[in-house]
Structure 1
Amino acid sequence: MERSFRNKVLFIAFAFALLSAVAVGRLIYVNLKGDEIVENAARSFKDVTIKVLPRYRAAITDRHGKPLALSYPVGYVFTFKFYAFKDEEKKRKLARVLARLLNLDERELLKLFELKRPSIELATFPLERTEEVARAIKSVDYDPKKGRYEKPFISSFVNVGEKFERFYPHGRLASNLLGFVKKDGSGGGGLEYQFEERLLGGKKRFVRYILYRDKGFLFLEPLDEEELVARELRLSLDFRLQAAVEEIKREIVRKFRPKKVVVVVMESKTGKIRAFTTYPDFDPNRTRVYKPYTRNFGTVDLFEPGSTFKPFLVAYALEKGIIGPRTLIKIDYGRTVVHRKTLRDPVSYLRKKKFITPEELLVYSSNVGAVKLGLRLSAAQFKELLSLFRLDETPRVLLGETPPLIADLRNEVNRAYASIGQGLSFNALHLLSSFNALVTGRWVKPSILEDEEPEVRPLPLSPSTVKWVRRTLVKVVEEGTGRRAKTELYFVGGKTGTAQKFDARLKRYSNRKLTTFFVGFFPSEPRFTALILVDEPKGKELYGGTVAAPFFKKLVEKAAVIYGLEPDKR
């Protein structure tokens, strides 16, 4: 008897040890192969839904640590396979209960109930209200007349959970740059998408549970979950300047009702982007409403540069000895013919001149002079010009940067129009980075991260050419088409641009749809390089010098106060 009992104990112990070994082995296997197991399960059973819980997402801050995006835990109400629940009266009751409790729109909830999705998030709420919300959901099944809970139980299809929610404390500020976070916790655009791995602490997304035929959850927790350290993303943006630029953008929108606006400010020497805003913008806390406007118009959209291209053309011609500073360029009183089309200079000063200097070409923005100069360049030289200032390739700073579009420069007519910025298209950040190279003599890769080392490459451009360009661009503001950007205390250098937009329907350039620019630097020894682009402004006298230049002046004055710039006008 005693021997038999001992054998039974040994057998039970052996069986338990074997089962433990199998369980541990299974857990280790799940730890290593968890994702694969769940994916196979999802393929094997059509009713399996994989549910991934959003992880903590690190903050995004400005250069001084001011939060621009934060994560915090919230409770949320979600359904699973709600389309299988057929009690319409209980559905309506649930909608009433949740609408009253969480201040929601009852009709919107009923619309969500009709979706044929495995799982639907209905609402979020403060974490401390979890028990209250859970009780409210359960109360829908309670029949006070009978004094008991009645089937079918709606609470079997609706539950509460916990997740992290993203919050943007400054709403629309830099929204198109920051992007947004989707309901599943993944980045939906902008920097949130570009730096997803860093913000979450790694690529691996652990499957937490699956739902199988409404019979509960299978948890797949790794034995030793690898440590995932979410790292804060410290941007180069300066909140003070960003806020000032946002206000300038709003003023532009109020005054001109444009289709788009882009304003970018970068440090000339380091390439650090200190402010970046676009319009239309959106509130990333409410992405459902503004989804069409979530893209970054400063990097995705292409614009013809118009007269802002002329400084590149003149600088190249000077550097290569095609012209000298005193070379006279024949403009025939501001009139020429290109491919049977008459081209005229709009500035009255130019209509009195048969010849102009390269300086006058830029100061008064002569289209005729630029065309005459551009036709002196061969196709190979024009391509070299674009390559010299890196206009032929994007800086590759932000995801989704659209590469430039460049017409076939072997065609002489294309070269003529390219000289005045037609047939070439760049995104705004690309144009700004190349302009910064022009006025500093060094190509500096723009950077959006404060802790990133500047990437600098000298340009094969002589100091004398750079000095001449800077001096002439200051004269554009002091005496020429950019006079409305002039300030009392600081020298500003820059170039206006007014680009007619090509009308695909009419197959010609429009006289009514324009993109206006001012791209410049300040003070005279550049500390900042900036661009203001206003697309399709509405009103009268719509030129770069009348639309964008006055707001560049405001930008300079605000930046001077923020950074305590020493006046350089004596």
Structure 2
Amino acid sequence: MSLFINNKVEKTFFELSGIRRRWILVLFLLGFLTLIIRALYLQSVNKNFLQEKATATSNRVISLSADRGKITDRHGNILALSTPVFSVNANPKITKVKMSKEQRAQLESILKISSAEVDDKIFNSPKDNVYLKRHVPPSDAEQLKVLKIPGISFENDFQRFYPGGEVSANLVGFTNMENVGAEGIEKAQNSSLSGVAGRRKVLKDKLGRFVDDIDDIKLPQEGNDIRLSIDQRIQYLTYRELAKSIEDHKAQAGSAVVIDAKTGEILALANLPSYNPNNLNAGNGPTRNRAVTDVFEPGSTMKPFVVSAALDSGIVRPNQPIDISAGFMKIGSFTIHDAHAEPGRFSMTVSEVIAKSSNVGAARIGLMQDPKNLWGTLNKVGFGTRTNAGIPAEVSGALRNYKNWGVVGQATVSYGYGGINMTLLQLAQSYTVFANDGELKPITLYKRNEPVMGTKVFKKETVKTMVEMMEGVIEDGTGGNAKVKGYRVAGKTGTAEKIINGKYEKNKNIGSFVGLIPATNPRIIMAVMIDEPSVGSHFGGVVAAPVFSNVMAGAMKILNIPQDDKPQNKIPQQEKAEPKETI
């Protein structure tokens, strides 16, 4: 209340009595005392209650796996796809307390995990969440859900499945446990195949069950599908016939490549040994893609390029005689010889040098040429550089600079030894010059929808002449086992000793063959390499040429390619051994 006296304001306040103040103070003290007593009770007497409440619910961010894109062949046949599976998780703090002995026994049985693993992941783990097992099949996950084990939860996941198994394993590759590409196309195209994972923030109860979403769900974005140039049917044929030759000749390994000669698309690429990408623990596990990682000296498959370079520049003619010195040629202290030398025969035509695979003849033709020009031709057809076909781990091989050749080096390079080595894929691509009027085609593992331009290497007339010479290899030379009924075939055999610790090993050889079919208008190129055949012959005409014949007989029907038969191109009645090609 205010009173106005002499224009001054005076204020009067009501004051509480002493008794009332004491009662209010007592009430405040009692309230604080109650809170203190309650806190002491909860912390000391009933702390388990608080801990259970704290763990009764928890927030967790769940990653939502994106469905990885499919890998298919050129016709859409599945080579790799994702199948739905589950990841089984556990909250050790809950599970080890709540899980009964019976539940534990069933858990171990269903997930096929040991008792020691359960101890390690649940009973001895300080973590709040652990993976018990990844990639659990839906049927097993359903059995486990029925048990309702406290603290056990499930997450949707994906696992890759490869219908082709080991037939295309080295090519397609595989993913790791996190669904990330680890080998092959799975690795090369991982970013495109993977998509983008989503996110879900959830509330979980003490049993590990989802209670509610507590934030907006970010949906995953599916990965892109990848279509390869491979034809699954030809891939299977190639793998089957390659495996047969390796088994028949007890070889260490082998590779084969089939290319569409006009488009540069790889129709098949097979390697042995292979592995099962659906079970990486089987056998010896993953193996390398030898067709792009392993290099070898090409031997006589090199000769068509050396002779074509000489034809192209007008140095030699097809019927021109070449001195072969009865199959022996000395350069200083170095000797080149033909194992099939005919006593008293001192010359062969250029065409016969190719058909009979004469090392001496090829060396003489190579030495007729300017080393810089010869090196330039070999470089143009891709030797010493990667094909860039889109296959991981591809190596470039080697082509020694012509300045470091010397006379011996130039001579040995001319028949595929010495300063040159390459992958089988490089060798297969190089032969596209003989199927496209002298133009080297870029090759690819991915399906093409448009024609591609190549690099001009030889004249059209030169290529026509060389294809006729390589038909002679099949008709009258070392490649008789490559014949295909109803079709004219052109090709070249090769046999080379392997280099071990810097030295040539006479008893360890690589037999190879590269062929074109139909020879009148080549549509398909196939290169085959057999590594260390040990039973029967080791020559390319015996171990590799039959693979070409058997695969191409089926491929011509699959691709519906018209025959260009001529009477003398008949299937041989018995194997025809190729003369040995050595330094």
Question: If the TM-score is normalised by the length of the shorter chain, which range does it land in?
Answer: 0.7 to 0.9
Question: Given residue 310 of structure 2, which amino acid in structure 1 is its aligned partner?
Answer: A
SS at match of 2:383: coil
Q: Note the residue ranges of structure 1 that are not aligned, 5 or more in a row.
A: 1-48, 139-154
Work out whether 1:66 is the aligned partner of 2:77: yes
Match of 2:430 in 1: 434
Match of 1:194 in 2: 188
The sequence identity of aligned pairs, in percent, is 29
Question: Given residue 76 of structure 2, which amino acid in structure 1 is its aligned partner?
Answer: G
The one of 372, 375, 382 aligned to 1:380: 372
Alpha-carbon contact 1:109-1:122 (below 8 Å) kept: no
Work out whether 1:550 is the aligned partner of 2:546: yes
Q: What does residue range 64-463 of structure 1 map to in structure 2 within 5 Å?
A: 64-78=75-89, 96-102=105-111, 104=112, 106=114, 120=131, 122-127=133-138, 129-136=140-147, 138=149, 156=151, 159-201=153-195, 204-205=196-197, 225=218, 228-289=221-282, 293-338=286-331, 340-349=333-342, 351-397=343-389, 398-409=391-402, 410-412=404-406, 413-422=408-417, 423-440=419-436, 441-463=438-460
1:510 positional shift: 0.5
How far apart are the structure 2 equivalents of 1:419 and 1:518?
17
1:545 positional shift: 0.7
SS at match of 2:369: coil
Alpha-carbon contact 2:201-2:215 (below 8 Å) kept: no
1:46-91 Cα deviation digits (max 9, x unpaired): xxx99855421121112221111111211122468x7x99989x89
1:472 positional shift: 0.7
Work out whether 1:478 is the aligned partner of 2:478: no
Alpha-carbon contact 2:81-2:162 (below 8 Å) kept: yes
Identify if the C-alpha distance between structure 1 residues 85 and 287 changes in structure 2 by more than 3 Å, giving closer, same or farther. farther
1:550 positional shift: 1.5
1:368 positional shift: 1.1
Question: Given residue 75 of structure 1, which amino acid in structure 2 is its aligned partner?
Answer: F
How far apart are the structure 2 equivalents of 1:128 and 1:540?
51
Match of 2:14 in 1: none
Identify if the C-alpha distance between structure 1 residues 419 and 119 changes in structure 2 by more than 3 Å, giving closer, same or farther. farther
Alpha-carbon contact 2:280-2:286 (below 8 Å) kept: no
How far apart are the structure 2 equivalents of 1:108 and 1:227?
36
How far apart are the structure 2 equivalents of 1:192 and 1:359?
46
Question: Given residue 106 of structure 2, which amino acid in structure 1 is its aligned partner?
Answer: V
Identify if the C-alpha distance between structure 1 residues 342 and 94 changes in structure 2 by more than 3 Å, giving closer, same or farther. farther
- Structure 1 runs of 4+ with >4 Å offset: 49-53, 84-88, 90-96, 107-121, 204-211, 214-217, 219-227
1:186-210 Cα deviation digits (max 9, x unpaired): 1111111111222223xx5556679
1:310 positional shift: 0.7
1:141-196 Cα deviation digits (max 9, x unpaired): xxxxxxxxxxxxxx65x643210111112211211000001110111111111112
* Root mean square deviation of aligned Cα: 3.6
1:269 positional shift: 0.5
How far apart are the structure 2 equivalents of 1:92 and 1:403?
60
Count of residues in Structure 1 that have an aligned counterpart in Structure 2: 497
Alpha-carbon contact 2:66-2:222 (below 8 Å) kept: no
Question: Given residue 412 of structure 2, which amino acid in structure 1 is its aligned partner?
Answer: Y
Identify if the C-alpha distance between structure 1 residues 136 and 336 changes in structure 2 by more than 3 Å, giving closer, same or farther. farther
Q: Note the residue ranges of structure 2 that are not aligned, 5 or more in a row.
A: 1-59, 567-583
Alpha-carbon contact 2:67-2:222 (below 8 Å) kept: no
TM-score normalised per structure 1: 0.78
Alpha-carbon contact 2:483-2:489 (below 8 Å) kept: yes
Identify if the C-alpha distance between structure 1 residues 67 and 467 changes in structure 2 by more than 3 Å, giving closer, same or farther. same
SS at match of 1:333: helix
1:438 positional shift: 3.3
Alpha-carbon contact 2:383-2:399 (below 8 Å) kept: no
Question: Given residue 504 of structure 2, which amino acid in structure 1 is its aligned partner?
Answer: Y
| Structure number, greater radius of gyration | 2
Match of 2:39 in 1: none
SS at match of 1:520: strand
Alpha-carbon contact 1:265-1:529 (below 8 Å) kept: yes
1:454 positional shift: 3.9
TM-score normalised per structure 2: 0.76
SS at match of 2:293: coil
Identify if the C-alpha distance between structure 1 residues 569 and 286 changes in structure 2 by more than 3 Å, giving closer, same or farther. same
Match of 2:31 in 1: none
How far apart are the structure 2 equivalents of 1:50 and 1:537?
57
Question: Given residue 284 of structure 1, which amino acid in structure 2 is its aligned partner?
Answer: P
Match of 1:16 in 2: none
Identify if the C-alpha distance between structure 1 residues 231 and 271 changes in structure 2 by more than 3 Å, giving closer, same or farther. same
